[in-house]
Amino acid sequence: MQLQVTHSKKEGSVGPGKPAGSSIMGIQSRPDVPRIRFGWRPRMLAHWIPGFLRSQLGRTRVTMTRRALAYRALAYRAAPVSISIILVIALVQGPVLDAAPLPDNRIQSLSVESGADLAYLGKDASGQSVYATVSYTEGEMNYFTISPDGMQGAGFNVQYFEGKNLGKLIVAETRDSLNMPMGNGSPHKDVPRDDFSIRATGTLRVTRNGTYTFFTRSDDGVRLYINGRPVIDKWKPQGTTEYSGSVDLVAGRNYQIKLEYFEQGGPGHLELLWKKPGSDVASHVSRSGSLAPGSFLVRETEGLHSSWQAEYFEGRNFEKPALKRSENVIDHDFNRSSAAASVPRTNFSARWSGKLKISRPGLYRFYTTSDDGVRLYVNGQSVIDEWRGMAPTEHSGEIQLSNDADIVLEYFQGGGGASIRLEWEGPQSGRRLLGPAGGFRGLEIPSSVTFVHSLLSQNSDSTSSPIRFATMGGGIESTLMAYEVEASGLKPAPVQISGASDMSAAFTKLGLLVYDNGALIQYGEGGKQQELLSLNDAPLTICSDGSLVTSGSFYEPGANGQSFQEYPLAKFLAAREDDSNGDTAANAVVSAQCFSDQVLLLTEKELILIKRAGGLEAVRRIPNAEPMNGQWQGNRRGLQILKENPLIFAYGNGLYTWKGEAVDMLYRGTGELSCASGPIAVCLDSDAGKLIQFDL
């Protein structure tokens, strides 16, 4: 068991965004709510009032009939041209309220930096399910994973005690994770704000062999034990401080974890995080199956052919041999203990030798962080030479490599502090510790598209199939960059496509389909292009089987994927009454989405479910799809289906379910939701700075 302690400053949290729009007396203004003027028809008002109540109640469903409404005018003021009427609505038969929102225990949220879009990518080489967000300005990818790693059962059993030394038990609860920024408040309604302590216990299981680093952030004292062995022990008053300790764990085994904490006075804070082997970021230790920040892992095909051959000596210049052994990585903090009993804690030197395996010719960069001197040689060539006493300092050097290479690192400790660490990065791999090939490493995707608005994916749940995804952005012109990731890493030469500002695209069974300037274009290997269809209207959606929906037609590809059958939608779009003048107008399609053998259409006044079976057949429709009515204005992402039975979908800032003859709102976000359905349903609410996991 290796133990290292680090410190960091307390990080600020990202607060939720504020909903747009103004409000009067707490009622949000809505552009779609009509004014009532002299000359209104009771029939029209009977349509409007249920919708208005639904829009304000948000998460409930209001069912009324026209006869159930009675209107009582309390005051009026006559005017030469119009009469303003103030109405109080008395319900002869009260509204039937159906509890529609999801309960809190079926919703988990994770604070994230705002992102432009969200997608489920599939399973990476390690078998973990990967979701990704992409930033708007720089096109930077951030990854979130679900894996069987983590706390088993209900998670952490958390007990609260009186006093700082685990005195009398106050109350107990279960938690998915230990992420408790208390500030000047209390972690539980029955626990005082100050002078209390916590013991959290549970069973931890991991799925990969390797070194796991645990981090605590606490104000005040904290202790962490794994299988009874201390990993972190800082039982003292302090401001929010980060500590870390590393432990070697074996896949498939259960480990008993125990964390103890006390809060003496003032603000309180407690977090427990970990960094898994191959991962580049730390995430909260959570119940298995929970979403957490992670890395997109690919197989580590580069590194050492075998372990480092380590030699330790007495003296600064390799005077007297003291120890020989094999080591997987060079990442030592000798301040706590020497390398071994035979090696002195000060005034010693060490040499590590190995054979470097590379998979791609190119420029390789090496990083050392040492206290004191260090020298690095690759194929006998000096890459870093800092043979002098120093505090912990990072140095780097680079070298062009075309084949495997010999590598030697030398180090000396002259007195005082003692530490040494060696990392590297290659042409298409991020910075990480240099160890034996054959494990996993985090993938880094170079940012090449700016002002990103879309993240597309052809998710794969097979670890042997490539994962394909693309980012799309731009302003006056659009740029799409399509990537393909194999188990060993990113394939070179991603496909780059430029087009008009309204260009759209999707990964389908026909390949990457792109709509641009009135044409549907198929992109194959190496960016090969073939025009498949000429269109008068831009697609509202391109389906995974290559079908597409415009505002007036549904197009289905033939067996060869080269020809399309057009099915007009006019017969499904019933004329609607225009409330302003009584005329009829087309019931235009606003958004569409495909799933299985069905298509969901959203028009300005209704939801229509169409079945595809040798043609089109409407199977369900709702003439007035409240509480969605009016949300289509300014909506960019359109319908997003998360579950088929019962039908659950996202649109605008809402998550909805369609059961029978009603549409219920399950969740309302701060801003427009971007959602993805993989093993779990996840939505990004950028305005609130949250990634939300739903148990549907």
Q: Verify that 529 and 602 share a domain, yes or no.
A: yes
CATH of the domain at 189: 2.60.120.380
Residue 651 makes CB contacts below 8 A (sequence gap 6+) with 591, 602, 628, 631, 632, 635, 638, 639, 640
> Per-residue pLDDT for 362 more than 50?
yes
Between the two ends of the chain, the Cα-to-Cα distance in Å is 41
User: Mean pLDDT over residues 265-275, rounded?
Assistant: 91
- Report pLDDT for 34: 28
- The letter for the amino acid at 358 is I
Identify whether 9 is part of a domain: no
Domain-embedded: residue 1? no
Q: Which of 357-361, 622-626, 678-682 has the lowest mean pLDDT?
A: 622-626
264 and 194 Cβ atoms separated by less than 8 Å: yes
Does residue 201 share a domain with residue 137? no
Where does the pLDDT of residue 366 fall: very low under 50, low under 70, confident under 90, or very high at 90 and above?
very high
Do residues 419 and 556 both lie within one domain?
A: no
Confidence of residue 26 (pLDDT cuts 50, 70, 90): very low
CA distance 538 to 558: 20
Q: How confident is the model at residue 585 (pLDDT cuts 50, 70, 90)?
A: low
Residue 630 is predicted with a pLDDT of 55
Beta bridge partners of 566: 555
Q: What is the pLDDT of residues 114-158, one digit of tens each?
A: 788 999 999 888 888 899 999 888 888 999 988 778 899 888 999
Per DSSP, the three-state class of 499 is: strand
Residue 500 has pLDDT above 80, yes or no: yes
**pLDDT one-digit tens code per residue, 407-452:** 999 999 988 889 999 999 888 777 888 988 877 777 878 777 889 8
Cis peptide before 646 (omega within 30 of 0): yes
Confidence (pLDDT) at 338 = 79
Residue 696: strand, helix, or coil: coil
Give yes or no: residues 367 and 493 share one domain. Answer: no
- Asked if residue 572 belongs to a domain, the reply is yes
What pLDDT, on a 0 to 100 scale, did the predictor assign at position 623? 66
pLDDT of 5 strictly over 70: no
Identify whether 278 is part of a domain.
Answer: yes
pLDDT for residue 293: 84
Has residue 351 been placed in a domain?
yes
Quick one: pLDDT band at residue 59, thresholds 50, 70, 90? Answer: very low
Neighbours of 319 (CB within 10 A): 12
Same domain flag for 335 and 480:
no
Residues whose CB falls within 8 Å of the CB of residue 262, separated by 6 or more in sequence, listed in order: 163, 164, 165, 166, 196, 197, 198, 220, 221, 235
Looking at per-residue pLDDT, the higher value among 11 and 228 belongs to 228
pLDDT tier at 605 (50, 70, 90 boundaries)?
A: confident
How high does pLDDT run on average in the chain? 79
Q: Determine, yes or no, domain membership for 5.
A: no
Does residue 427 share a domain with residue 308?
A: yes
User: Are 692 and 685 a contacting pair, CB within 8 Å?
Assistant: yes
In 538-646, DSSP assigns E strands to 541-542, 548-549, 553-557, 564-568, 576-577, 584-585, 589-595, 598-603, 607-612, 616-622, 640-643
Same domain, 483 and 579: yes
How far is residue 288's CA from residue 397's CA, in Å, rounded to a whole number? 40
How far from chain centre, in Å, is Cα 518? 34
Enclosing H/E stretch for 24 = strand 23-24
User: Looking at the predicted structure, is the pLDDT value of residue 33 above 60?
Assistant: no
Q: Is residue 323 part of a domain?
A: yes
Asked whether residue 398 falls in the same domain as residue 479, the answer is no
DSSP 112: -
| pLDDT score for 625 | 54
**pTM for this one?**
0.70
Do 224 and 75 fall within a single domain? no
The CATH number linked to 407 is 3.90.182.10
pLDDT value at residue 65: 28
Nearest partner of 545 among 504, 507, 593, 592, judged by Cα: 507
479 and 608 assigned to the same domain: yes
Report the C-alpha gap between 491 and 410 in whole angstroms. Answer: 35
Query: Residue 179 belongs to what domain range?
Result: 150-288
Domain count, the chain: 4
Last residue within a domain, chosen from 234, 255, 288: 288
| 3-state per-residue secondary structure call for 202-226 | EEEECCCCEEEEEEEEEECCEEEEE
Given strand 654-659, what is the order of strands in its sheet? 640-643, 647-651, 654-659, 662-668
Residue 461 has pLDDT above 80, yes or no: no
> Residue 187 has what pLDDT?
92
Q: What's the rounded Cα separation, in Å, for the pair 102 and 692?
A: 12
CATH number, residue 573: 2.130.10.10
4: in domain: no
What is the residue type of 202? G
Q: Which of 1-15, 477-491, 664-678 has the lowest mean pLDDT?
A: 1-15
User: Hey, what are 430's tokens?
Assistant: 């991020």
- Domain end, chosen from 99, 116, 133, is at 99
pLDDT interval class at 288 (50, 70, 90)? confident
| pLDDT value at 324 more than 80 | yes
Task: Give yes or no for residue 401 having a pLDDT over 60.
Answer: yes
Mean pLDDT for 8-23 is: 32
pLDDT at residue 192 greater than cutoff 80: yes
